[in-house]
Amino acid sequence: MSISKDEIRDVYEKLRDQMKRQFSRTVSFADYFTDRWERARYEGFGEGTSVYDNVLILGDVRVGRHTWIGPNVILDGRGGLAIGDYCSISASVQIYTHDTVRWSTSLGKAAMEVRPTLIGDGVYIGPGSIVQMGVKIGNRAIIGALSLVNKDVPERARAYGNPARVLTDRSVPE
């Protein structure tokens, strides 16, 4: 059975218009044809978790329950990545468990470096933030938008900036 471009376009336009009416938003082409919760189940993520179709998932990535993973996110689990329950991973966040700095600068003689990265329960990571390999973010921490997280962030802390700095006098309330 063959489907024409025009038939695909018609279905796309109907789905796009329906989403615009129902939710007042538009999304990338593939997200009209996929189910974010089904993708999370396919990846083995926890109950109630959703992940957009355009999220790049590499290696060993474990995600808990009721976590939202926004569009254009990179989840690099080559060194082991664990994300807890009830997290919000905003659009365009990048979470790494490896880097190739030594590999590149040694002209391929050194190995890629890997270290596990851990994101606790109830963590919010703002849009465009980058979490480097080996970082641990404690439960209920908040990472501000566009932050570069290259050091551990304690439980209930707020961290912002490039590089991210922990605000010691402003913990997250109960």
Residue 72 placed within a domain:
yes
Q: Are 54 and 36 in contact (CB under 8 A)?
A: no
Q: What's this model's pTM, rounded to 2 decimal places? A: 0.91
Number of domains in the chain: 1
Q: Residue ranges of the alpha helices (H) in 106-166?
A: none
Residue 5 placed within a domain:
no
Q: pLDDT at position 69, please?
A: 98
Q: pLDDT at position 1, please?
A: 79
Angstrom CA distances, 15 to 32, 95, 119, stand at: 6, 31, 35
Tens of pLDDT, residue by residue over 6-56, are 999 999 999 999 999 999 989 889 999 999 999 999 999 999 999 999 999
Q: Strands 142-143 and 113-114, how do they pair?
A: unpaired
Q: Strands 98-99 and 113-114, how do they pair?
A: antiparallel
Residue 20 placed within a domain:
no
Give the C-alpha separation, 63 to 59, whole Å.
Answer: 13
Q: pLDDT at position 174, please?
A: 64
**Annotation says 98 is catalytic:** yes
- Statement: residue 118 has pLDDT above 80: yes
What CATH number should be reported for the domain holding residue 66?
2.160.10.10
In angstroms, the first-to-last Cα distance of the chain is: 57
The domain of 120 spans: 34-165
Residue 54 placed within a domain:
yes
Tens of pLDDT, residue by residue over 45-101, are 999 999 999 999 999 999 999 999 999 999 999 999 999 999 999 999 999 999 999
Residue 4 placed within a domain:
no
Residue 115 placed within a domain:
yes
Q: Give the percent of the chain with pLDDT over 90.
A: 91
Q: pLDDT at position 169, please?
A: 56
Catalytic residue among 98, 136, 140, 158: 98
Residue 47 placed within a domain:
yes
Residue 14 placed within a domain:
no
Q: pLDDT at position 172, please?
A: 60
Tens of pLDDT, residue by residue over 127-157, are 999 999 999 999 999 999 999 999 999 999 9
